[in-house]
Structure 1
């Protein structure tokens, strides 16, 4: 199975940091956000990845490309640990790139992948969303696709007051954590949301989604919304992810995620706790 990672947005909520670099390259602790996404794809058994980019996204390509000068310098300096880290990034997967020529929404970004994907099911992984779990989120969706032979999307229960930030589904739970979806609505007002089950940035889609995107006009925000195209599919399932999803969509969530990932690092954890205690005490 191939994976498509949309990474063409402007990242306006992170300006000025994203004026000349993609939000997908903002570091979460010690890695760019998009590296976590690609590592999840690889852990799910996927090594053929297409990243949909836009203007000012060249640093993504550079990050996953081979850097002869850097590798030579690290080798000469005997810094074998860092050399291995750099080489591992290059060897993660086969990564291709295509540009979304015009900002027309997530649905349009996915449509850019049609030729690369062909007539096979494929994964979609948003480049600004990180997941953490015993079984990778995308692998869970692949398992559901294999069982039901239909598209599957990752879900998460969100507080009622936050439903207007997400695509929301209405469906019937047919087994533990698995829903057969009847309705999908992009960013509904709180009083019109059919549930609090939000779409959380991971999908396994059948290739007929491309026809549905082509049929879909502009929706919320004047963009072609993937959620609107998903609603046209004959059959689609949802899975509440057994793990945690980190939506790096605004500054606070990005900062909180970076702190949480730093707390998982034994070398940084204690010093970070001490530093945060000092800050709290001084305020």
Structure 2
């Protein structure tokens, strides 16, 4: 299945402007690669088709939107194990007709994109929880911080860990601990927005990059996640009650670098634990790290 269009269609223009992925309401099951993952193949496609823009849209994640007004596009579904997982689209500012040969070429590129998704998943997804690995999450965090500095966009970091997790392992065993981690990860993914990134950065410690959000919005997201975890029933272990403590920090101009950003969120996480656990604490200190006094 593919779509070939050369027209001024308001519906097409609206979808192109927003670059909305197909089936956006499909539940998020696990972390997904960021658009930057496909930069090499999309640059190659631009060169081959001589077009100014290429869009990769995965279900449950925002497309790599590129600004502009486009009059023609060719779209191919991304298919993995006979399931459509997204779409690949080339866009042109000029009116043009795409040939059957163009369709065949884009189908080949679509297979490359799917391969990249699979490779990314193998290397960047935590096997137990489906969250991003620490390395993958850290890479996303650094790229986001750099982009925020250039565009003066908003972004916030939320770090949380499970309260008294060692006691769960000691009392009910590691199988129970694994069940808790998997249930918590599924719970968190249900509560997050499609543009947020979720990673497992330690044994029972997780982090969320809350995109396009200041500390106020991020704290609301954190509180929503906290309440969901508190209500969570663990499959096979209904007797286990789970809670988590959260630290939130916005990437303001006062934040020196990613390490400073992480330190600020971590400090609030420990403040949440020190003040009774199962709560959210938000960084309000705006002074650079070098000026902080312990």
TM-score, normalised to structure 1, is 0.26
Q: Which has the higher strand share?
A: 1
Structure of higher CA gyration radius: 2
- Structure number with greater CO (CA < 8 Å, separation at least 6) is 1
TM-score, normalised to structure 2, is 0.25
